[in-house]
Chains A and B, each alone.
Chain A
Amino acid sequence: MIVDLLTGTVRAGTAVLYASLGELIAERAGVVNLGTEGSMLSGALGAFVVTAWTGNPWMGALAGGICGAMMSFIHAFLVITRNANQLASGLTVMFFAMGVTAFFGRGYVQTQINGFEPWAVPLLSDIPFIGRIIFHHDPLTYISFILVPALWYFLFKTRRGIILRATGEREDAVYANGLSPKFIRYLAVLAGGFLAGIGGAQLSIAYTHTWVENMTQGKGIVAVALVIFAAWRPMRAMLGAYLFGGAQALQLIVQQQGYEVSPYLLLMVPYVLTLVALFIVERRRVSRVPEALSGVFTGSGGG
């Protein structure tokens, strides 16, 4: 049962992990994107529809990423080019995506797809205990395992990563180097939207194999919270995502075991846990917010 719980944790946490990594990139460049929720939703639908059309989940995942990036492009344009309020813009993008996906997803609620199936890694999956937990997943989950250290390496060990972080900390320095902070922010928000879209895709074509209206249920918002919990570090974002995923997995197990607990109460647990986790880290320190973000959360950023 412990093995089931931990396997479920990884499976359920992957979507939020992708979205958190995406949001982390955007926030490192100085843009808070509540539209992450919208990117996830459109990624979930886009991936589902293309998988249904082509029968190829890889095409679906790519489409999901592109849909997520397209949603985040709206946010990027509004806040970077038009200097709009980041929270208002993000909420509107979320709203827009909820409407658009509900509208265009109507015909797909009953559709069956051949999505990603869990694939056991030869040899490694035979390791007792760990093998089952880590090496028995869908391909998108394996990619996320690689993505976390890769993103850490990119952010902290490469020149481009330093430029990205500088965009969120010292815009002037980026200017002085002859680079456009606006352009870098665009790239960061688009990359973030792409990853959030993949996260949504994992939800619809790997985890559940269904499309349900508004199926992300705030996971994009949770991702934004987890980035703060993670203090803008990829490894800790992974920890946070699995915490959330763990609570979801627990809920499924409790239901399967047939305990008489209200499903609403169980559905609530991951969100409460996110809040509690955030509470614990925020009590211990005043977290180092990327400079450009501090204005957004205190209401003085943007028009």
Chain B
Amino acid sequence: MKALSLQLRSPSIGLQWTATILGPLVAFALFLLISDANPIELYQIMVGSVIGDWYGIGEVVIKSTPFLLTALAAALPAKAGMINVGGEGQLALGALVATWSAVYLLSDMPGAVGLPLMALFGALGGALWAGIAGLLKTRGNMNETITTLLMNYIAYFTIGFFCQGILKDPASFNWPFSPPVAEQLRLPTFSMTSRAHVGIFIAIAVALLVWYIIYHTRLGFRIRTVGGNAEAARQAGINVKAIQLGVLVAAGAIAGLAGMIEIAGVEERLRPTTGVTYGYLGFLASWMAWNHPLRLVATAFVIGTISVAGNSMEMNSGLPASSVQILMALVLFALLIMGRRNKT
């Protein structure tokens, strides 16, 4: 019976995958048609922009880096049964503190010293921000889903406050952004033909570290025990609250690092829009990968690829940036409709 049902099922799974991949593309093509754009031409441009040359591949790598880190910031707490939807705010605060340190403390230091310190400040900023949500959870019994979400909005206004206030570039007239960080505090690039910087190696290293800790250390075992059954973990003598606070702080540090990498690798100065939507997309990348720290490397790249392809579509068709969001949402809808077979 079982073998039979498996046999009957396998073609339908293939069909489902085909529908999941083609569905959003067809739906988006219809959307492009009603917007007076040529979908076939645009799809060609989009594919060309991500695999056409080294520059495009470099762009995908750059874009995927923050998604990878914010996805990890969702995945690590998920292993302890916590939901961190605050990657958005944690990244922003990381970017803020990293920029602040770069402008005021590290501007005269050589990069070899300054960059690691700047990364540390970024991680610290994200960790503190997530730590507030962690304390509200462990001390105040507040649900972290709601607190991390609300704090994203508070973070957004905090960044605006600093960009218009004490971190505002004096040379910027009325534009709300910080001064640029010093030349030696930019992440080195590793390729002559693209803008790709070393951030991706840092991100992958963090993913490996998180994976190793979760699956191959006693601490990881404790984290997974808390995630499996917090009450049983408590009975077994595990300090559940310390674990819950710890994973959130660590997740915040990872997202904060993403903020620092955005500043030092891409943006060069802090803007109110720095990293907006990266936290949410990272959360969704983590969800797509069953919160597995290595599988999410792949899903982060999928989201990064769609972003880059979407940007090139935007530039070539005159369609606004919001159409990228629509494409992204359609892809995610298709995945949500298909559902996930197994859960870890």
Q: Which residues of A contact B (CB under 8 A)?
A: 34, 74, 78, 82-85, 87-89, 91-93, 95-96, 98-100, 102-103, 106, 217-218, 221-222, 224-225, 228, 262, 264-265, 267-268, 271-272, 274-275, 278-279, 282-283, 286, 297-300, 303
Contacts and interface: CB of A to CB of B under 8 A. Distances in A.
B157 A264 contact: yes
Given A78-B336, A99-B329, A92 B284 contact: yes
Contacts of B136: 275, 279
B284 A91 contact: yes
B154 A268 contact: yes
A40 to B, nearest CB: 14
Interface string B125-160: 000000000001000111101110111111001101
Nearest to B160: A264
A275 B81 contact: no
Contacts of A93: 329
B258 to A, nearest CB: 18
B320 A303 contact: no
B150 A87 contact: no
B326 A103 contact: yes
Contact of A221 (B149, B161, B326): B149
Contacts of A282: 140-142
B147 A74 contact: no
Contact of B150 (A78, A84, A221): A221
B280 A91 contact: yes
A278 B149 CA distance: 13
Nearest to B151: A275
Contacts of A106: 320
Interface string B314-344: 0000011111111011101100110110010
B287 interface: yes
A271 B158 contact: no
Nearest to A281: B142
Given A82-B336, A91-B283, A91-B284, 20 more contacts: A34-B149, A78-B333, A88-B336, A92-B284, A95-B277, A96-B325, A96-B326, A98-B322, A100-B322, A100-B326, A103-B320, A103-B322, A217-B153, A224-B146, A224-B149, A271-B154, A278-B142, A282-B142, A283-B140, A299-B82
Nearest to B140: A279
B153 A221 contact: yes
Main secondary structure of the interface of B (DSSP, over half): helix
B78 interface: yes
Given A283-B141, A297-B145, A99 B337 contact: no
A298 B322 contact: no
Nearest to A219: B153
A217 B160 CA distance: 14
B83 interface: yes
B325 A83 contact: no
Interface string B193-211: 0000000000000000000
- Binding site secondary structure of chain A: helix
A106 B35 CA distance: 13
B161 A92 contact: no
Interface string B269-282: 00000000100100
A80 to B, nearest CB: 12
A23 B228 CA distance: 29
Closest 6 CB pairs of A and B: A99-B325, A96-B329, A102-B322, A264-B161, A268-B157, A99-B326
B48 interface: no
Contacts of A268: 153-154, 157-158, 161
Contacts of B140: 279, 282-283
B184 interface: no
Contacts of B82: 299
Given A96-B325, A99-B326, A303 B343 contact: yes
Contacts of B150: 218, 221-222, 225, 271, 274-275
Nearest to A221: B149
A85 B287 contact: yes
B161 A303 contact: no
A264 B164 CA distance: 9
Contacts of A272: 154
